[in-house]
Amino acid sequence: MAQKVKEWIEVRATGPVGEAEEATALIVEAGSQGVIEELPFEPLAFDVVGPVVEDMTRRPETLTEPLTLIGYIATGDSLLSLSAELERFGWSFTTSLFKDQAWTEKWKRFLRPVRVGGFLVRPVWSKAALKKGEYLIEIEPAMAFGTGGHETTRLCLRGIKAVAKDMPPAATMLDIGTGSGVLAIAGARLGFKGIVGTDIDEVALKNARKNLRINKTKARLTCKPLSELSGSFDLAVANIRTIVLYNLTGDIVAKVKKGGALILSGILVEEATDVATRFEAASLRASTPLNTVKITKSKEWVAITLR
């Protein structure tokens, strides 16, 4: 039987440049995992290109209005509220059905290899060559799942590389919200063992399993809640939205071994102090004390490393 093609809703929102950040946040909250700014641009060279979202292009010095943002949503349930919220900021939008079979070809022009933290993360069709000392991660992009370029993923890749130097042999790793599996694969490249990746989305896990096969790496992937996951890990990484980090604080801390490390991202700059404070307090209650040792920043995002 032929596999059913999933239909997405493509949202094209148009409005004033000055309210672009608010409009982007609303589209993401409605369910899109990324937002493209439709700009006149030439792609940057691959070794400095960042995420699919925003900084994968060279922005014109002066943006002309109106600006168009493009997002992809799996269900139409949130469109009515999205319309009302966008109107408050002077934005309007149109929608159309979009079938995921066309996604790869449509987005190939946006997806570029990314070099960060000693890793080369490239889509499978890329011929970008490894530089000396780099670790290769190849990704088969899937609708709404990352390819390694977003600031938060980049920050986590750097963080994993940094803490790996001080880990014991055969150290274990937990990737919370594994998505496309980029961070789990990075951990395997650095020698972590017993890697577990969790995600609440079965489609994400399917994509991650495919990427693990492509990279000939091993990890156990599960959609089990953290509270039902046995064991603790030398390194836990959680690249998820701050509200989810807050909801899972105790469960996340419980998965870090004494003397282990925790990397958190998906956090805005203005949230960093509160997130760090909450996790330090939770670790004391769990008798596995963790202290913030580093906060790294990229644009409006941060990653926090606790040990």
Q: How far apart are CA 294 and CA 307, in angstroms?
A: 9
CATH classification of the domain holding 237: 3.40.50.150
Domain count, the chain: 2
- Same structural domain for residues 95 and 226? no
Q: In this predicted structure, what is the pLDDT of residue 20?
A: 83
Q: How far apart are CA 103 and CA 108, in angstroms?
A: 8
Residue 132 lies in a domain: no
pLDDT, the chain, mean: 83
Residue indicated by tokens 């956090």: 267
Residue 233 lies in a domain: yes
- Same structural domain for residues 81 and 202? no
- Same structural domain for residues 84 and 156? no
For the record, the structure tokens of 163 come out as 């803490």
Q: Side-chain half-sphere of 222: how many Cα atoms within 13 Å?
A: 11
Which residue type sits at 248?
Answer: L
pLDDT digits (tens, 9 = 90+) for 222-233: 999 999 999 999
Which residues form the domain of 38? 7-107
How far is residue 181 from each of residues 66, 198, 208, 211, measured CA to CA in Å?
36, 10, 5, 7
Q: In this predicted structure, what is the pLDDT of residue 137?
A: 96
pTM (global) more than 0.85: no
What band does 98 get if pLDDT is binned at 50, 70 and 90?
confident
Q: In this predicted structure, what is the pLDDT of residue 109?
A: 60
Residue 189 lies in a domain: yes
Give the residue with greater pLDDT, 33 vs 234: 234
Phi then psi dihedrals of residue 181, to 5 deg:
90, 10
Residue 127 lies in a domain: no
**Domain termination residue (choose one: 54, 84, 107):** 107
Q: In this predicted structure, what is the pLDDT of residue 75?
A: 67
pLDDT digits (tens, 9 = 90+) for 27-79: 887 877 667 777 544 333 333 333 333 333 334 444 556 888 888 887 666 78
- Same structural domain for residues 66 and 157? no
3-state SS of the chain?
CCCCCCEEEEEEEEECHHHHHHHHHHHHHCCCCCEEEECCCCECCHHHCCCCCCCCECCCCCCCCCEEEEEEECCCCCHHHHHHHHHHCCCEEEEEEEEHHHHHHHHCCCCCCEEECCEEEEECCCCCCCCCCCEEEEECCCCCCCCCCCHHHHHHHHHHHHHHCCCCCCCEEEEECCCCCHHHHHHHHCCCEEEEEECCCHHHHHHHHHHHHHCCCCCEEECCCHHHCCCCEEEEEEECCHHHHHHCHHHHHHCEEEEEEEEEEEEEHHHHHHHHHHHHHHHHHCCCCCCEEEEEEECCEEEEEEC
**Domain termination residue (choose one: 107, 141, 158):** 107
- Same structural domain for residues 98 and 194? no
- Same structural domain for residues 163 and 299? yes
- Same structural domain for residues 174 and 300? yes
- Same structural domain for residues 302 and 154? yes
pLDDT digits (tens, 9 = 90+) for 242-254: 999 999 999 999 9
- Same structural domain for residues 162 and 249? yes
Q: How far apart are CA 49 and CA 56, in angstroms?
A: 5
Residue 121 lies in a domain: no
pLDDT digits (tens, 9 = 90+) for 156-201: 999 999 999 999 999 999 999 998 899 999 999 999 999 999 998 8
Residue 215 lies in a domain: yes
- Same structural domain for residues 83 and 189? no
Q: In this predicted structure, what is the pLDDT of residue 146?
A: 54
- Asked if pLDDT for residue 4 goes beyond 60, the answer is no
Q: In this predicted structure, what is the pLDDT of residue 165?
A: 94
Q: Cα Rg for the chain, rounded, in angstroms?
A: 19
**Which of 104-113, 144-153, 209-218 reaches the highest mean pLDDT?**
209-218
- Same structural domain for residues 14 and 103? yes
**Domain termination residue (choose one: 84, 107, 130):** 107
Which residue type sits at 199?
Answer: D
Residue 51 lies in a domain: yes
Residue 42 lies in a domain: yes
pLDDT digits (tens, 9 = 90+) for 118-140: 999 998 888 899 999 999 999 98
Residue indicated by tokens 């349930």: 77
For the record, the structure tokens of 222 come out as 């599960």
Give the residue with greater pLDDT, 101 vs 266: 266
Q: In this predicted structure, what is the pLDDT of residue 151?
A: 85
Q: In this predicted structure, what is the pLDDT of residue 112?
A: 75
pLDDT digits (tens, 9 = 90+) for 272-300: 999 999 999 999 999 899 999 999 998 88
Phi then psi dihedrals of residue 105, to 5 deg:
-65, -40
- Same structural domain for residues 157 and 223? yes
CATH classification of the domain holding 12: 3.30.70.120
Q: How far apart are CA 123 and CA 243, in angstroms?
A: 30
